[in-house]
Amino acid sequence: MENGTIKRKIALTGDRPTGKMHLGHYVGSFKNRVKMQDDYDQFILVADVQALTDNADNPAKIRANILETTIDNIACGVDPHKNTFFIQSMVPEIADLTIYFLNLVTVSRLIRNPTVKDEVNQKGYGQNIPAGFMCYPVSQAADILCVKACVVPAGEDQLPMIEQTNEIVDKFNALYTATFPRVKAIVPRIAARLSGTDGKSKMGKSTGNAIFLADSSKVLAEKVMNMYTDPAHIHATDPGHIEGNVVFEYLDVFDNDPKGLGELKEKYKAGGVGDVVIKKRLIEVLENEIGPIRRNREELAQNSDQILKILKEGTERACNISAKTLRDVKTAMQINYF
């Protein structure tokens, strides 16, 4: 994956295969991966080991979503010829690196990781946090460092992970020999902050407020028709609010006609535009964008052997690079006995 003789910078990003991907993933990460794929040697990790840290009782769910997650990426234009897709559990060096890195962090630091803290609260673990779950930021550092990536495109919620990775890099390089580059996060502008259809929180895989890339036209239309708008806008003639109105938030992101949209907003604010009008516009805009992705998905799903081949070849490449990294690590630590 070299561009002529110029070696491209290595970027790595990943998804937990825990469920269907939605519009938030599309605007917050997949689109950005497509934008980066010509300029970076980009690795896309299917993070099944991380997904198991809070799904140990349901590995079948994770297994089923490995293909789905990969299909979602490719259907959105993340090109398997330009990117390396690989499966976390199939690269044993990641587990090896995790073990060595665990000695470079403290338990109190792990518990203070804001992302882990939020998730512990969401899941209601209380004092019963699975150790693997608490430690997943360390294995995430190993995901990133096994291929010596220096760039990680990720949502804002992932920034504490990058911070923790850099602490591990600094500690490792200082204790042993300089082995790893520091890592830089790239947070895309929309960074997965898309609100859910209920307007209450961020769109989530399991919060019942998502529009999935796999949704049919009918389901998509139903979800838009039920979207949160402006509760004070009861009659078409009432003046309406734009701020906090999810339909307009989505139109701002997806509508390619800013002039027409500007005029519609003015009319809506003044009173005289019903919610059905703005929702119909959004259905059309989303259908134009997601329709082709849905059709790609269906086609790709017919060819699961091809998807598995992409994952297998990518995993082989990741394994080769990671084996070299692990050798560097053992040399730096002087545990390369024979």
Report how far residue 268's alpha carbon sits from residue 272's, in angstroms, rounded to the nearest whole number: 6
Return the range that interacts with ligand TRP (CB under 6 A); candidates 10-18, 90-98, 271-279, 310-318. 10-18
The distance of closest approach from Cβ of residue 146 to ligand TRP in the complex, given in angstroms and rounded to an integer, is: 10
Q: Which is nearer to ligand TRP, 205 or 267 (CB)?
A: 205
Return the range that interacts with ligand TRP (CB under 6 A); candidates 6-14, 235-243, 288-296, 323-331. 6-14
With left for phi above 0 and alpha for psi between -120 and 50, is residue 221 left, alpha or beta? alpha
Q: Which is nearer to ligand TRP, 49 or 282 (CB)?
A: 49
How many residues bind ligand TRP (CB under 6 A)? The answer is: 14
Contact call for residues 201 and 165 (beta carbons, < 8 A): no
Question: What SS3 class is residue 127?
Answer: coil
Dihedral pair phi/psi, residue 254, rounded to 5°: -105, -20
Considering only residues 11, 16, 19, 36, which one is a binding residue for ligand TRP as defined by CB under 6 A?
Answer: 16
With left for phi above 0 and alpha for psi between -120 and 50, is residue 271 left, alpha or beta? left
> Taking CA 115 as the corner, what is the angle to CA 112 and CA 121, rounded to the nearest 5 degrees?
85
Q: Which is nearer to ligand TRP, 84 or 229 (CB)?
A: 84
The distance of closest approach from Cβ of residue 144 to ligand TRP in the complex, given in angstroms and rounded to an integer, is: 5
Q: Per-residue x/- mask for ligand TRP, residues 37 to 66, rule CB under 6 A?
A: --------x-x--x----------------
- Report how far apart, in Å, the C-alpha atoms of 221 and of each of 178, 198, 251, 289, 320 are: 54, 15, 14, 13, 46
Q: Which is nearer to ligand TRP, 278 or 311 (CB)?
A: 311
The distance of closest approach from Cβ of residue 281 to ligand TRP in the complex, given in angstroms and rounded to an integer, is: 31
Q: Which is nearer to ligand TRP, 79 or 118 (CB)?
A: 118
Told to check if 152 binds ligand TRP by CB under 6 A, we report yes
> Taking CA 54 as the corner, what is the angle to CA 51 and CA 58, rounded to the nearest 5 degrees?
80
Considering only residues 144, 221, 273, 278, which one is a binding residue for ligand TRP as defined by CB under 6 A?
Answer: 144
DSSP 209-271: ---BTT--HHHHHHHHHT----TT--STTS----TT-HHHHHHHHH-S-HHHHHHHHHHHHHS
Q: Per-residue x/- mask for ligand TRP, residues 103 to 132, rule CB under 6 A?
A: ------------------------------
Return the range that interacts with ligand TRP (CB under 6 A); candidates 61-69, 140-148, 275-283, 299-307. 140-148
> CB under 8 Å to 235, separation ≥6 — which residues?
none
The distance of closest approach from Cβ of residue 16 to ligand TRP in the complex, given in angstroms and rounded to an integer, is: 5
The distance of closest approach from Cβ of residue 328 to ligand TRP in the complex, given in angstroms and rounded to an integer, is: 20
Question: What SS3 class is residue 3?
Answer: strand
Q: Which is nearer to ligand TRP, 119 or 289 (CB)?
A: 119
* CB atoms closer than 10 angstroms to residue 33: 22
Q: Which is nearer to ligand TRP, 75 or 144 (CB)?
A: 144
Amino acid present at 72: D
Nearest to 248 by CA among 237, 205, 233: 233
* CB atoms closer than 10 angstroms to residue 82: 16
Return the range that interacts with ligand TRP (CB under 6 A); candidates 8-16, 67-75, 251-259, 319-327. 8-16
Report how far residue 333's alpha carbon sits from residue 70's, in angstroms, rounded to the nearest whole number: 36
Applying CB under 6 A, which residues contact ligand TRP?
12-16, 45, 47, 50, 140, 143-144, 152, 154, 158
